[in-house]
Structure 1
Amino acid sequence: MKNEKLTFTCGEGGEAEEFFVVEQTRLNGVTYLLVADSEEDDAECLILKDTSTPEEKDSVYEMVEEEVELNAVLKVFEELLEDVEIEV
């Protein structure tokens, strides 16, 4: 899934936004995506968490906002992407 461009439907209004998947990891049975708004070096990044249930046809991702969870996942992504600097 790396470097794949995905379209996410955001919010109640159903506004579509495109992001590039930089990296994917799984922690404690939960899938996380590091996505960027462009392929440029200074792109804005988000960490998204798959919150969908097995019964759901489509994946449901939410932005990780809880600080402890965010820092733990960020550390994993930094280890996976040795040559990339991620700033919070």
Structure 2
Amino acid sequence: MDNNSIHFVTEDGENIDFTIIDETKLNGVSYILVTDSPDDESGDCYIMKDISEKDDEEANYIFVEDDKELDAVFEIFQNMMDDDVEIIK
């Protein structure tokens, strides 16, 4: 898997691959914007938060579910995107 991808395993054991679109930090927390579309076609986007401990060998991401947190990070990603990319909440 390349650096622009992340492999995610759900609580049910389902394997999902996401393409990383962008990343940012807010209040010292790392976030990534990912899509389930492997190419440049439109797909669903998700914001994930890094909850890794500093001693962890691999990053540990979860989906952002808190509405206030999601809105704040969504706005940052929306401002970071090129004019040719549209993110719809």
Partner of 2:30: 31
1:29-68 matched pairs, under 5 angstroms? 29-38=28-37, 39-68=39-68
Partner of 2:18: 19
TM-score, normalised to structure 2's length?
A: 0.85
State the number of aligned residues: 85
State the percentage of identical aligned residues: 38
Runs of 4+ with >3 A deviation:
none
Unaligned runs of 5+ in 2: none
In the alignment, structure 1 residue 87 sits paired with structure 2 residue 83: no
RMSD: 1.5
Q: CA deviation at 1:74?
A: 0.4
Unaligned runs of 5+ in 1: none
TM-score, normalised to structure 1's length?
A: 0.86
C-alpha distance in structure 1 between counterparts of 2:41 and 2:13, whole Å? 29
